[in-house]
């Protein structure tokens, strides 16, 4: 039995994702595909446009065999921690043979070379980075200068560090190397539109383009017929899932969280925001200074961003405050090898041999029911899971307030995993 792992957000699931699953199985010869997917919050520091169970079901209807939730602390992290958490989860299952990811360059040898260099930073490399960080450069820019200085043989390929899927691919490879994992990486050249392309110009457009099409005023009228512009951009089964929930539980947009986020920022103002992940004393002070000008989540992100602090960094930082994700949590989890459990969001009927293999070989418990967690998890594992549950309930509360006539009253404890 061969198994390929995929790390994804599916925000929302579209044609490119279906292609990725099919090609990943094809080029690796895998019998099964395990997806590690972000839950209700995603890496750019925002809520997912629709809930994690709907997105998991879309993946299962289009080739995935098992979908597991990436804990929210990693789902809302920088590329390095996002990759480290997801790779650790796949590795600890004990059955994952390969990891297949998309990249703009499509050249595994180049990505692997960067990963090897960046996973074994020598003293000179660290000194160059630190020197330029003190000058006010962002970490990516300081890192690029260090590579130019300490790894001149890579200078011809530095452009690969400018695109998001290449960067994630390098981080996946770094995480595999640092773990000494037996999982073999594969990469697919990213087909269709780029990650940041917001146009609906082809059948393989970006998730960003689909989200913007859904959230624009012309598509937010009543009735699922207004989703017709995106019908051709995703598999029919995924479209039907969205159409069924349109204006009932979805779309959920960043500014739907404006009021609860504002309350959280005000309630924490007397403390130090710098205790939260990704926030230093300078950003903490800036948040406090600008808080009287708060109007909405997205407006506040624009207000806080600077030349050296991107919108994504700001939005992720604010979400860390909102969800209570602290720096000390990361230090603890990293020291204990990142992951304590594998929480199921859904599986495909017919994938029972895969589930049996995971249960036999995994070094962490496979959670299909939250009720089992109390006996299967110890202190920090329960703490990590409690944050996932909390994040799920906060997301659900916004859904219920936005769509009071339709939203389910199910909680994280009563929601059923999807079986397709």
User: Do the domain assignments include residue 182?
Assistant: no
Residues 279 and 415 reside in one and the same domain: no
User: Do the domain assignments include residue 237?
Assistant: yes
Residues 350 and 393 reside in one and the same domain: yes
195 — pLDDT class (breaks 50, 70, 90): low
Domain boundary among 294, 311, 331: 331
Residues 307 and 386 reside in one and the same domain: no
What integer is the mean pLDDT of 223-246?
A: 86
Query: Is the backbone of residue 195 left (phi > 0), alpha (psi -120 to 50) or beta?
Result: alpha
Q: What is the pLDDT at residue 135?
A: 87
User: Do the domain assignments include residue 68?
Assistant: yes
Which of 117-131, 235-249, 257-271 has the lowest average pLDDT? 117-131
Number of domains in the chain: 3
| Dist. CA 167–CA 144, nearest whole Å | 12
Specify the higher pLDDT residue, 90 or 226. Answer: 90
Is a pLDDT exceeding 80 seen at residue 407?
Answer: no
Q: What is the pLDDT at residue 154?
A: 87
User: Do the domain assignments include residue 177?
Assistant: no
Degrees, nearest 5: CA angle 208-209-215: 85
Q: Which two tokens stand for residue 242?
A: 């969205």
Is a pLDDT exceeding 90 seen at residue 196?
Answer: no
Residues 136 and 15 reside in one and the same domain: no
Residues 7 and 87 reside in one and the same domain: yes
Residues 323 and 353 reside in one and the same domain: no
Residues 278 and 392 reside in one and the same domain: no
Residue matched to tokens 């950003």 = 283
| Cβ atoms < 10 Å from Cβ of 97 | 17
Query: Is the backbone of residue 32 left (phi > 0), alpha (psi -120 to 50) or beta?
Result: beta
Q: What is the pLDDT at residue 140?
A: 81
17-35 CB burial, b ≥16 within 10 A, e <16: bbbbbebbbeebebebbbb
User: Do the domain assignments include residue 409?
Assistant: yes
Rg (CA), the chain: 21
Q: Which is nearest to 69 in space by CA: 397, 393, 323, 366?
A: 366
| Dist. CA 381–CA 131, nearest whole Å | 37
Residues 128 and 199 reside in one and the same domain: no
What integer is the mean pLDDT of 311-318?
A: 97
Q: Per residue, what are the HEC states of the chain?
A: CCEEEEEECCCCCCHHHHHHHHHHHHHHCCCEEEEEEECCEECCCEECCCCHHHHHHHHHCCCCCEEEEECHHHHCCCHHHHHHHHHHHHHHCCCCCEEEEEECCCCHHHHHHHHHHHHCCCHHHHHHHHHHHHCCCCHHHHHHHHHHHHCHHHHHHHHHHHCHHHHHHHHHHHHHHHHCCCCEEEEEECCCCCCCCCCCCCCCCCHHHHHHHHHCHHHCCCCHHHHHHHHHHCCHHHHHHHHHHECCCECCCHHHHHHHHHHHHHHCCCCCHHHECCCCHHHHHHHHHHHHHCCCHHHHHHHHCECCECHHHHHHHHHHHHHCCEHHHHHHHHHCCCCCCEEEEEECCCCHHHHHHHHHHCCCCEECCHHHHHHHCCHHHHHHHHHHHHHHHHHHHHHHHHCCCCCCCCCCCCCCCEEC
Q: What is the pLDDT at residue 197?
A: 58
338 — pLDDT class (breaks 50, 70, 90): very high
Residues 131 and 264 reside in one and the same domain: no
User: Do the domain assignments include residue 184?
Assistant: no
Domain boundary among 300, 331, 362: 331
191 — pLDDT class (breaks 50, 70, 90): low
| Dist. CA 319–CA 261, nearest whole Å | 8
User: Do the domain assignments include residue 216?
Assistant: yes
Is a pLDDT exceeding 50 seen at residue 242?
Answer: yes
Residues 317 and 371 reside in one and the same domain: no
| Dist. CA 182–CA 205, nearest whole Å | 33
Mean pLDDT of the chain: 93
Specify the higher pLDDT residue, 58 or 132. Answer: 58
Q: What is the pLDDT at residue 217?
A: 41
Residue matched to tokens 């279906």 = 18
pLDDT in tens, 71-81: 999 999 999 99
198 — pLDDT class (breaks 50, 70, 90): low
Residue matched to tokens 């958490």 = 85
Q: What is the pLDDT at residue 201?
A: 64
Residues 241 and 264 reside in one and the same domain: no
Domain of residue 211: give its range: 3-104+189-252+339-419
Is a pLDDT exceeding 80 seen at residue 108?
Answer: yes
Cis omega before residue 251 (within 30°)? Answer: yes
Residues 401 and 382 reside in one and the same domain: yes
User: Do the domain assignments include residue 111?
Assistant: no
Degrees, nearest 5: CA angle 386-398-195: 85
CATH number of the domain to which 42 belongs: 3.40.50
Domain boundary among 307, 331, 355: 331
- % the chain with pLDDT above 70: 95
pLDDT in tens, 29-76: 999 999 999 999 999 999 999 999 999 999 999 999 999 999 999 999
């Amino acid at each position: 039995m061969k198994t390929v792992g995929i790390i994804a957000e599916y925000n929302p699931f579209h044609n490119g994702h279906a292609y990725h699953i099919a090609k990943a199985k094809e080029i690796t010869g895998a019998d099964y595909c395990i997806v590690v997917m972000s839950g209700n919050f995603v890496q750019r520091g925002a809520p997912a446009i629709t809930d994690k169970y709907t997105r998991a079901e879309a993946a299962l209807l289009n080739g995935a065999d098992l979908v597991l939730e990436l804990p929210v602390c990693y789902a809302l992290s920088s590329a390095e921690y996002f990759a480290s958490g997801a790779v650790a989860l796949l590795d600890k299952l004990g059955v994952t043979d390969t990891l297949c990811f998309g990249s703009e360059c499509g050249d595994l040898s180049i990505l692997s070379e960067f990963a090897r260099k960046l996973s074994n930073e020598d003293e000179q490399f660290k000194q160059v980075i630190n020197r330029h960080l003190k000058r006010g450069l962002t970490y990516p820019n300081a890192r690029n200068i260090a590579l130019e200085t300490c790894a001149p043989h890579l200078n011809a390929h530095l452009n690969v560090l400018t695109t998001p899927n290449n960067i994630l691919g390098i981080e996946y490879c770094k995480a595999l190397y640092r773990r000494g994992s037996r999982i073999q990486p594969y990469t697919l050249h990213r087909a269709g539109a780029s990650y940041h392309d917001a146009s609906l110009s082809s059948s393989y457009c970006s998730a960003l383009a689909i989200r913007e099409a859904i959230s624009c005023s012309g598509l937010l009228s009543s009735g699922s017929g207004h989703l017709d512009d995106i019908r051709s951009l995703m598999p029919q089964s995924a479209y039907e899932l969205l159409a069924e929930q349109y204006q009932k539980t979805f779309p959920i947009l960043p500014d739907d969280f404006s009021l609860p986020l504002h309350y959280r920022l005000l309630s924490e103002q007397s403390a130090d925001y710098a205790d939260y992940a990704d926030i230093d004393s300078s950003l903490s002070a800036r948040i406090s200074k600008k808080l009287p000008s708060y109007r909405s989540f997205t407006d506040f992100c624009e207000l806080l961003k600077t030349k050296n602090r991107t919108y994504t960094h700001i939005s992720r930082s604010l979400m860390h405050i909102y969800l209570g994700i602290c720096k000390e949590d990361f230090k603890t989890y990293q020291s204990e090898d990142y992951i304590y459990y594998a929480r199921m969001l859904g599986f495909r009927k017919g994938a029972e041999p895969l589930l049996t293999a995971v249960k036999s070989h995994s070094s962490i418990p496979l959670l299909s029911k939250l009720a089992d967690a109390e006996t299967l998890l110890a202190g920090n594992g329960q703490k990590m899971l409690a944050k996932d549950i909390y994040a799920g309930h906060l997301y659900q509360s916004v859904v219920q307030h936005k769509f009071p006539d339709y939203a389910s009253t199910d909680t994280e404890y009563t929601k059923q995993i999807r079986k397709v």
